[in-house]
């Protein structure tokens, strides 16, 4: 079960940016606190060791003095040092514990066991007495006397305390700055996310024209917005294409279906003999075959746009393939009073799906023969009825060019002509489904290529191009002679 967001928390505290910033600040402060604690502890330990080393040296000197010159000499030295000392502390007592000399009033109770360490003692001041911290080292002298050598460490302790408070204050300030930075960053990101969410809601409501705005900062949100906008452009294009295909299917298939039904009804109504029924059935089959071809073309385009053909690609001679297709369509062209010519620079080896490339070139030849008659304004002889087919190498790959001298396609309609079911012939009297060029475009996209429609002055010049791997260029370089055929 999904956990719901706490409604009591502000929205910005639930953002990833704020949580990351808060986590970063918490980890940083924790690590810094540990490091600062270790530094303070080591500083304190170093101070204590240095003081103990100094006390040990002084205590050993006084003990040597007592051993060599007797208790009286030790007593005089302690009295002198107590009078001149500022931070040095002394307490000398006899075997019964009575004070003999020193600037301490009593033996610290913290050091009764005879071990050195920290202790507190009272110091007179203008406001009464103050508690100071000191480090002492007891020394046992000859004759049962006890000597305490100590140092006042109140000033170092206060310094360390001030440093500790400074660290604590700095950490607190760092936490506040980090949280403020997290708040600012989260509010900025939350504002961008809110804009993206609002745009997404509008798109889900049906307005596919909406796009996510960018700030021009080039950050990751701008990159995300550009990627989403590109995806939305593609979706809008596909949706528009789907609507157009649906409209065209309803328009283009309604007529043959009605014609199919009318012929079937006419065969039932008018046929009197077996031959009449056979003729009616043959016409019905012809109409059904045309509808099936339309659907097969649609399915082929759908498979081309949805699938990959890398596994089915092979290396073959494009010149031989196109030459065979030109010879195959030659008789059909002659029946339509056309003349096919073919030019190629020799063998051109490509890596592609042989069947799909052949289907695309066949569609181009069929369109050129079907629509390639000269327009009344430009027809002036057989030359205007020629259909030129050519191959040429380019820096990027290879191009298949099919040019006719018919009416051509206006510049404004060329992009639309590559879509499904688009037929620029208003009367639609010629046979066809409007899927030929769209299939060629699908084959080109599947091979990372493109289809260009250009003016042939007069007529249409269609260029199908796709890249060829560099390793294949050496394969076809052994042939340099040109080749030209006419059919």
Q: Count CA atoms within 13 Å of residue 322 on its CB side.
A: 34
The residues with which 343 forms a beta bridge, in sequence order, are 390, 484
How crowded is residue 48: how many other Cβ atoms within 10 Å of its Cβ?
16
Residue 68 sits at φ, ψ, to 5 deg, of -90, -40
Q: How far apart are CA 349 and CA 315, in angstroms?
A: 6
Query: Which stretch of DSSP H or E encloses residue 377?
Result: none
Q: Are strands 386-393 and 339-344 parallel, antiparallel or unpaired?
A: parallel
Q: How far apart are CA 244 and CA 237, in angstroms?
A: 10
How crowded is residue 156: how many other Cβ atoms within 10 Å of its Cβ?
19
Sign of CA dihedral 405, 407, 410, 414: negative
Residue 374 sits at φ, ψ, to 5 deg, of -70, 150
Q: 310-486 adopts what CATH topology?
A: Heat Shock Protein 90 (3.30.565)
Decide: 484 and 404 in contact? Cβ < 8 Å: no
Residue for token pair 């700055």: 177
Exposed / middle / buried, residue 45 (Cβ in 10 Å: 0-12, 13-18, 19+)? exposed
DSSP characters for 303-365? HHHHS--GGG-EEEEHHHHHHHHHHHHHHHHHHTT-EEEEEESS--EEEE-HHHHHHHHHHHH
Query: Which stretch of DSSP H or E encloses residue 127?
Result: none
CA dihedral 209, 215, 218, 224 (to 10 degrees): -40
Decide: 47 and 156 in contact? Cβ < 8 Å: yes
Contact partners, residue 77, CB within 8 Å, separation at least 6: 62, 65
Residue for token pair 């003095």: 65
* Structural tokens at position 223: 């990159």
pLDDT of 58 reads 87
pLDDT of 400 reads 92
pLDDT of 252 reads 60
The residues with which 486 forms a beta bridge, in sequence order, are 341
Q: Computed over its alpha carbons, how large is the radius of gyration of the chain?
A: 50
Question: pLDDT 10s per residue in the chain (487 long)?
Answer: 334 445 545 555 666 666 777 787 788 888 888 888 888 888 888 888 888 888 889 888 988 888 888 888 888 888 888 887 678 888 898 888 888 888 888 888 888 766 788 888 888 766 667 888 888 889 888 888 888 899 888 888 888 888 888 888 888 888 888 778 777 777 777 777 788 888 888 888 877 778 878 777 777 778 888 888 888 887 877 777 667 666 666 666 666 777 778 777 777 777 677 777 787 788 788 777 777 766 766 666 666 655 555 566 788 899 999 999 888 888 888 887 788 889 988 888 988 888 888 888 888 888 888 876 644 443 444 444 688 899 998 888 899 999 888 777 877 777 767 765 555 554 444 555 566 787 788 888 888 888 888 888 888 889 999 888 776 654 444 443 444 554 5
pLDDT of 377 reads 43
Q: How far apart are CA 12 and CA 273, in angstroms?
A: 85
Helix axes 220-270, 274-306, angle to 10 degrees: 170
């Amino acid at each position: 079960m999904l956990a719901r967001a706490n409604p009591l928390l502000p929205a910005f505290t639930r953002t990833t940016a704020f949580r990351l910033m808060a986590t970063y600040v918490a980890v940083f402060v924790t690590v810094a606190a540990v490091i600062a604690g270790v530094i303070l502890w080591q500083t304190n330990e170093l101070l204590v060791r240095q003081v103990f080393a100094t006390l040990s040296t002084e205590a050993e000197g006084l003990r040597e003095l007592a051993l060599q010159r007797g208790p009286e000499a030790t007593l005089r030295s302690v009295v002198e040092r107590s009078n001149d000392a500022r931070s040095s502390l002394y307490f000398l007592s006899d075997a019964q514990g009575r004070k003999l000399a020193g600037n301490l009033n009593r033996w610290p109770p913290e050091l009764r066991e005879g071990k050195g360490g920290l202790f507190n003692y009272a110091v007179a001041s203008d406001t009464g007495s103050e508690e100071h911290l000191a480090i002492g080292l007891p020394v046992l002298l000859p004759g049962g006397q006890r000597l305490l050598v100590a140092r006042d460490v109140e000033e170092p302790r206060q310094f360390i305390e001030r440093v500790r408070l400074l660290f604590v204050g700095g950490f607190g300030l760092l936490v506040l700055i980090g949280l403020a930075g997290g708040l600012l960053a989260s509010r900025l990101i939350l504002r961008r996310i809110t804009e993206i969410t609002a745009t997404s809601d509008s798109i889900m409501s049906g307005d596919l024209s909406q796009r996510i705005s960018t700030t021009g900062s080039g950050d990751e949100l701008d990159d995300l917005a550009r990627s989403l906008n590109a995806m939305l452009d593609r979706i809008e294009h596909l949706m528009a294409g789907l609507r157009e295909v649906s409209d065209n299917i309803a328009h283009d298939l309604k007529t043959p279906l009605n014609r199919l039904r009318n012929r079937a009804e006419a065969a039932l109504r008018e046929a009197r003999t077996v031959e009449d029924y056979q003729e009616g059935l043959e016409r019905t089959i012809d109409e059904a075959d045309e509808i099936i071809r339309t659907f097969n073309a649609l399915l082929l385009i759908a498979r081309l746009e949805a699938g990959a053909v890398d596994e089915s690609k092979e290396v073959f001679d494009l010149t031989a393939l196109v030459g065979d297709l030109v010879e195959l369509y030659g008789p059909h062209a002659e029946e339509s009073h056309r003349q096919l010519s073919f030019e190629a620079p020799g063998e051109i080896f490509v890596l592609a799906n042989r069947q799909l490339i052949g289907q695309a070139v066949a569609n181009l030849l069929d369109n050129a023969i079907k629509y390639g008659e000269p327009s009344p304004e430009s027809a002036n002889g057989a030359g205007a009825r020629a259909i030129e087919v050519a191959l040429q190498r380019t820096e990027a790959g290879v191009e298949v060019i099919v040019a006719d001298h018919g009416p051509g396609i206006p510049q404004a309609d060329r992009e639309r002509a590559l879509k499904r079911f688009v037929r620029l012939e208003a009367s639609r009297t010629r046979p066809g489904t409007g899927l030929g060029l769209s299939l060629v475009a699908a084959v080109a996209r599947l091979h990372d290529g493109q289809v260009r429609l250009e003016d042939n002055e007069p007529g249409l010049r269609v260029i199908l191009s796709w890249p060829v791997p560099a390793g294949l260029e050496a394969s076809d370089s052994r042939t340099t002679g040109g080749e030209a055929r006419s059919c």
